Amino acid sequence: MHDIDCLVIGAGVVGLAAARALALACREVVIAEAAEGIGTQTSARNSEVIHAGIYYPPGSLKARVCVEGRKRLYVYLRERGLPHKACGKLIVATSASQKPALETIMARAQASGVETLRWLDAGEAKAMEPEVRCEIALLSPDTGVVDSHALMLSLLGECEAAGGSLALNTPIAGWRREADGFSVDFGGEDPATYSVKTIVNSAGHGAPRLLRTLDGFPPEHIPKQSFAKGNYFALLGKQPFSHLVYPVPEAAGLGIHATIDMGGRVKFGPDVEWVDDDQDLVVDPQRADKFYAAIRTYWPALSDGALVADYAGIRPKLHGPTEPMPDFRIDGPEVHGVAGLVNLLGIESPGLTSSLAIADLVVERLAAR
């Protein structure tokens, strides 16, 4: 007998979704979270966009969990009356040379089963968004926004209702493999060591770091980490758009786009700034120049002084600036050979959208033990 049947490390949106799914699958779940609240890290520092699933290589894990996760998420939010809005988004090409990038997105969307994406010519785009300048655009009606904190509270509530529990201020300080499971050191104010049968390592930026402390874990399955900060600037003044507006994507992000949150606040970002650690969260106001230039390519009327430095999030990258973006990793025993352990690695965007689908795969991988 173990003290804990199933330990989920990390109470971000993905950890909470996994914990809920495991509790509903009749596992006894404990969530250990280092911070003093749930969802204070990457899950609190993103665009809160429900992505349609149109950007990712067809057949990739990202494409599959995004499309499936988006469908599941809308149903979940609707059934519970949680704040969200399927507002749709425009992806705009501001010159003819950007059209091939939109064609690639259209092809990927169709191959991933997203049938709703459609072309808009310049006139149609202007009719929908009079302030936006473009040559041609794609309309993604399945894209939306969600109040991610309301979602996380709901996931936690359902996990607890199914018997799960949450320990805040409880960093996992060490762990060792045992004959059948793990021995885990829980830190914080009341440190203790417990035997644990199965573990979901959903520690976001901390996930690869934790693996480096697990004696005997095959080093070839510990990815190299990089950090790509995404800065946001908020818009002062009137909301200029009724849809989200995205430029064509760049190498490590989706481009400096406009999102409108559930409170009607417009923000632009995230850009891509490679940084050395995951705590570098201050937005440098000097970056505004780049934001004005990027935004004015599709919104020329943006006035001087309308942008104010807002917040930043750090993408948990598994690739460097010159390397191609890899897929999500949900590494279970079938990958690394350690029974009872699932590692969630590189869960950057669209991790929020995909959380319910990722959670199901975690349950499957632990059940296949």
Ligand X SMILES: Cc1cc2nc3c(=O)[nH]c(=O)nc-3n(C[C@H](O)[C@H](O)[C@H](O)COP(=O)(O)OP(=O)(O)OC[C@H]3O[C@@H](n4cnc5c(N)ncnc54)[C@H](O)[C@@H]3O)c2cc1C
Site string for ligand X, 235-264 (x = CB under 6 A): ------------------------------
- C-alpha distances (whole Å) from 269 to each of 36, 202, 291 are 27, 25, 8
Q: Based on CB atoms, which residue is closest to ligand X, 204 or 247?
A: 204
Can you tell me the distance from the alpha carbon of 353 to that of 50, in angstroms, rounded to the nearest whole number? 5
Considering only residues 349, 363, 365, 366, which one is a binding residue for ligand X as defined by CB under 6 A?
A: 349
Q: Which stretch binds ligand X (CB under 6 A): 20-28, 106-114, 199-207, 300-308?
A: 199-207
The reply to whether 341 sits near ligand X by the rule CB under 6 A is no
Can you tell me the distance from the alpha carbon of 225 to that of 231, in angstroms, rounded to the nearest whole number? 19
The reply to whether 143 sits near ligand X by the rule CB under 6 A is no
The least CB distance from residue 40 to ligand X, in Å, is 6
Contact 160, 167 (CB under 8 A): no
- Virtual CA dihedral for 349, 290, 45, 324, nearest 10 degrees? 30
Q: What is the SS3 assignment for 123?
A: helix
Q: Based on CB atoms, which residue is closest to ligand X, 138 or 172?
A: 172
Q: What is the SS3 assignment for 259?
A: strand
The reply to whether 201 sits near ligand X by the rule CB under 6 A is no
Considering only residues 32, 67, 235, 302, which one is a binding residue for ligand X as defined by CB under 6 A?
A: 32
Taking CB positions, which residue lies at the least distance from ligand X? 351
Query: Binders of ligand X among 37-56, rule CB under 6 A?
Result: 40-43, 45-49, 51
Tell me, by CB under 6 A, how many residues bind ligand X: 41
The least CB distance from residue 45 to ligand X, in Å, is 6
Can you tell me the distance from the alpha carbon of 235 to that of 6, in angstroms, rounded to the nearest whole number? 44
Q: What is the SS3 assignment for 246?
A: strand
CA-closest candidate to residue 67, choices 76, 77, 58: 58
In the complex, the residues that contact ligand X under the rule CB under 6 A are 9-15, 32-35, 40-43, 45-49, 51, 171-172, 202-204, 206, 210, 230, 270, 313-315, 344, 347-353
